[in-house]
Amino acid sequence: MSMIYQSTRGKGGELSASMAIIRGLSDDGGLFVPKTLPSFDFKPEEVSSWDYRETAFRVMRLLLDDYSEEELRQCIDRAYDEKFDTPEMAPLQKKGDRFFLELFHGKTIAFKDMALSILPHLLTTALKKNGIDRKILILTATSGDTGKAALAGFSDVPGTAIIVFYPKGGVSRIQELQMVTEKGKNTRVFGVRGNFDDCQSGVKAIFNDASMQEELSKQGFSFSSANSINIGRLVPQIVYYVYAYGRMVKQGHIKAGDKLNFSVPTGNFGNILAAWYAKRMGLPIGTLICASNQNNVLYDFLRSGIYDKNRPFILTSSPSMDILISSNLERLIYHIAGEDAAKNSALMASLRETGRYEITKEMEEKLADFYGAFATEEQVAEEIRGIYKETGYVIDPHTAVAAFAQDCYRKESSDTTPTVIVSTASPYKFAGSVYRAIQGETSLTDDFEIVDALHELSKTDIPAAVSEIRNAGIVHQTVTDIQDMPKQVLTSLSAL
């Protein structure tokens, strides 16, 4: 039996895994999902003896089954190597009575490295095995972290080029510097006068524009996406849930077969969706805590069954979660609608036209795996300070949102299942907010002075990703209006 991927909107045909990775987004505007989800063909007790690469292989081979063993192992070996600053790739840390899965040991010190360091290899391998002799143009909208992680992944990879759009003023200074100092010859970065949702809608519109596709085709390019809508992003994210489970067993915190909860800082719903897939494939997961910041559209949705993006967009200290349209939620909607593409399409049309939709009671019942909570800015700061005071461990604001959500869950439920907090960014990436949360207002204004001060506080090494940009030159300066995004793509093409 081989895996078939099809669109959540039902009009995209049937594709192999490698073709779905090449396409990124389906022609009908939908997202690719597996027609039937495979089950893990291993037992929970086996997992604890595997290292990260072996776990990656054992998980990914089930979902990307048209890659040969050799191809897949090669992609894995190229991705998960010294680019990570620890051989464990994703260390599990116990601090006080909490567990943190650190997903920020890659090149750009945020969890998106886990998937974006392997996507370029999956993609170039996919082109080769399908006999496609075209260059791939990656178009990416970023709320801060995807951008640099994608740039780092694709930088100077032959046969690829990448253009990144980020909301000007909507990302941290360190995030912006990481992107605009990118030196890869096949890279372009644009600030957009708008928010992340504008960037994402702009990129989606370019993808779906037939005349853009034609123009690109003339120049030997095909579009693809490095956004978390690409199944080449989603599949590698399932890996670390299995890996975390194995570490919890190995470190003696749970027995193989026991349930485990995860608290996931959520924005575009990719990370937590991967956990949900892991559960459906057979990993003993209990509750998935969906943690939001003040942009709490998912919290409201989980409570009411109504998704409504008609609300103010709030800039917070966890900018990678400042999102009102969680793209990957469409996959969940499709599944809980009973894999009914027509039903899903109608809801997505309603979202497009009115900014809201309401699911049926029957669908709502299928959301029982999820618990929603959100944290205000004050609660985030308090959480960072509290955990530091208690344990000396410093967490970033995104991780703090998840830690706070875990507190809410503890208070509201009688569930005593161990919970792993998914730690999605290094505190150094958001040094200003983290430092102020712990120390109160500071006279330090320079971000790098704050980095040094944070180093004193946390007694952890300053990651290379931060020290490298200290004195790097700015390469990308252009800021564009939303409506000029297609034009920027076309003008960039000839030099890429």
Site for ligand PLP contains 228 (CB under 6 A): yes
Contacts (Cβ under 8 Å, ≥6 apart) of 394: 384, 387, 388, 427, 434, 438, 454, 457, 458, 460
Report yes or no: 391 and 96 within 8 Å, Cβ to Cβ.
yes
Catalytic residue among 107, 112, 279, 309: 112
- 98 sits near ligand PLP (criterion: CB under 6 A): no
The 10 Å CB-count burial string (b at 16+, else e) for 343-354 is bbbebbeebeee
Show Cβ contacts of residue 6 under 8 Å, excluding neighbours closer than 6 positions.
12, 13, 14, 15, 32, 33, 35
107 binds ligand PLP, rule: CB under 6 A: no
**At its nearest, how many Å lie between ligand PLP and the CB of residue 275?**
10
Q: Which of 294, 320, 344, 419 binds ligand PLP (CB under 6 A)?
A: 320
| DSSP-assigned letter for residue 25 | B
Is the torsion defined by CA of 251, 252, 258, 261 positive or negative? negative
- Which span sits near ligand PLP by CB under 6 A: 13-21, 110-118, 299-307, 488-496? 110-118
Nearer to ligand PLP, 112 or 343 (CB): 112
Q: Are strands 419-423 and 260-265 parallel, antiparallel or unpaired?
A: parallel
Q: Which stretch binds ligand PLP (CB under 6 A): 52-60, 93-101, 104-112, 204-212?
A: 104-112
Size (the chain), residues = 496
Q: Which of 267, 372, 427, 432: binder of ligand PLP (CB under 6 A)?
A: 267
CA-nearest of 112, 191, 190, 201 to 154 is 112
Q: Which stretch binds ligand PLP (CB under 6 A): 52-60, 85-93, 269-277, 366-374?
A: 269-277
Structure token pair of residue 50: 């595997």
In the complex, what is the shortest distance from the CB of residue 228 to ligand PLP, in angstroms, rounded to a whole number? Answer: 5
CB of 341 closer than 8 Å to CB of 30:
yes
Does 321 sit near ligand PLP (CB under 6 A)?
A: yes
User: Which residue carries 């003993």 as its tokens?
Assistant: 284
Q: Which stretch binds ligand PLP (CB under 6 A): 108-116, 193-201, 349-357, 464-472?
A: 108-116
Residues 391-430: x/- map of binding to ligand PLP (CB under 6 A)? -------x-------------------------xx-----
> Facing residues of 463 across strands?
none
Helices (H), 80-188: 112-116, 119-129, 145-154, 173-180
Please identify which residue in 269, 334, 357, 374 interacts with ligand PLP, judged by CB under 6 A: 269
CB 341 within 8 A of CB 10: yes
183 is catalytic: no
The rounded distance, in Å, linking the Cα atoms of 191 and 195 is 10
Q: Which is nearer to ligand PLP, 127 or 285 (CB)?
A: 285
* # of chain residues touching ligand PLP (CB under 6 A): 17
Find the binder of ligand PLP among 271, 406, 433, 458 (CB under 6 A): 271
- Interacting residues toward ligand PLP by CB under 6 A: 110-112, 145, 228, 265-271, 320-321, 398, 424-425
Which residues are annotated as catalytic?
Answer: 112
